Chain A
Amino acid sequence: MTEAAATRTQIDRENPQKLYLQLHSILKGKMERGEWGVDAQIPTEEELCRLFDVSKATVRIAVAELVREGYLRRQQGKGTFVCKRVIPEGLSMLTSFKEIMLEAGVVFETQVLAQTVMMLTDELELKLDVPENKHIIYLKRVRLVAGEPVLLQESYLPHAVCPALLAEELERQSILELLEERCGVRVTRVRDYIEVVALGEEEATILGLSAGSPALLLEQYFFAGDAQVMYTRSLKRPERFRFVIELERT
């Protein structure tokens, strides 16, 4: 996010950025600055429409995304409230990056399904902080354990972060290691979201399941300093994984 976006408090109609994205960062800013404290009820949809002079659809998308990101929670019949942040202050995650990506001790094989370039789509706008006119490297890989597909992973990186990734053999190397070795990009922070989703047709076929089967979705936002360097979407067969999260007070 640009500095201007981080401190923006009003919708700017001259700005080419979509209205729901602008509203999303305005509302997020209010919570991050403490203007809306924990457990505070936020204005209703109608009030937000009036306050920012936007449509209901715009408010709905922005709020839904903040609910999904864990900033807000909805309470049936009562309203929408600011959440406590999921990761308490003063605690840091110990899990090593390699272990996040590869469950320790499991012998697996990787198949690269795509290693190409694309542009930002509407679906990706909230996931990857990159200007609309910039190119994105898209990597799609499937992990197999004993010949059985267990994990489907799609990664999106701004092309400028590490153009060399396009030419690398991704069957044997971790993207995070390549980022560091080839492009000197050291990931310093990862934000994870885990949820259960129903598989789409294509994803289900790749994982050898039927469409609509449940799977674990792990979304990861990778940062080097303040800059986002990657967004990864991993779908896992639920019966094959167990997550371990270890926290240490610092």
Chain B
Amino acid sequence: MAGVRSVREIMVDVFEYPHIPYWFTLRQAAGIVRNTLLGGEKPVHPLVVLVFDEKYNLVGMANLREIMKGLEPLWGATGDPAAAAAAGGKPASESPVATIMRPTTAFVEPEASVADAARIILEHGLELVPVLEDRKKLIGVVRWQEVFQECSRTALGG
């Protein structure tokens, strides 16, 4: 059953995913998404970037939807970059990623069961959940696809 295998057995390396510091702008984040997640022959799923602080602590994540939403004043029908600039504000593309990311609120321990990880993913609506050793050190991430494989196998057999 899904409860038997541990998170450690199904987690993937954090370096599978792009890392950005929270002070990077949406312009920089969008460029990195294009070059990394979407740059290869096959997109890297889930489409999400990990956001870190100065001390390499994971502080949040952002998916394409959130980055796009942050850039909406520049591409949306009502968007008028000139008006925004005239108002003295910086264009949305120069806002830091910290303003649009989802802060990290949930994590799993490496020895937790896959079912525990599945519950956290469902409860928090996450694409992936960070795996922290001793509640501190980021050692991997658990993704939807592996959790799905494991849980569906348990539920349906095969």
- Residues of chain A touching chain B, judged by Cβ–Cβ distance below 8 Å, are 16, 113-122, 132-133, 135, 138, 140, 159, 166
Contact = CB atoms under 8 A, between A and B. Distances in A.
B35 A119 contact: yes
Contacts of B53: 116
Contacts of A118: 19-21, 24, 52
Given A121-B24, A121-B28, A121-B31, A116 B39 contact: no
Given A115-B54, A135-B15, A120 B35 contact: yes
Given A121-B24, A121-B28, A116 B52 contact: yes
B135 interface: no
B2 to A, nearest CB: 31
A239 B150 CA distance: 63
A40 to B, nearest CB: 35
Nearest to B19: A117
Given A132-B35, A133-B36, A116 B15 contact: no
B21 A113 contact: no
Interface in B125-147: none
A122 B52 CA distance: 19
Contacts of B56: 115-117, 166
B40 interface: yes
Contacts of A166: 56
Q: Which 5 A-B pairs have the closest CB atoms?
A: A132-B35, A114-B54, A117-B19, A116-B56, A119-B32
Nearest to B35: A132
Contact of B39 (A113, A117, A132): A132
Contacts of B42: none
Nearest to A114: B54
Q: Which among B24, B28, B35, B40 has the greatest number of chain A C-beta atoms within 10 A? A: B35
Contacts of B36: 119, 132-133
B65 interface: no
Contact of A133 (B21, B28, B39, B54): B39
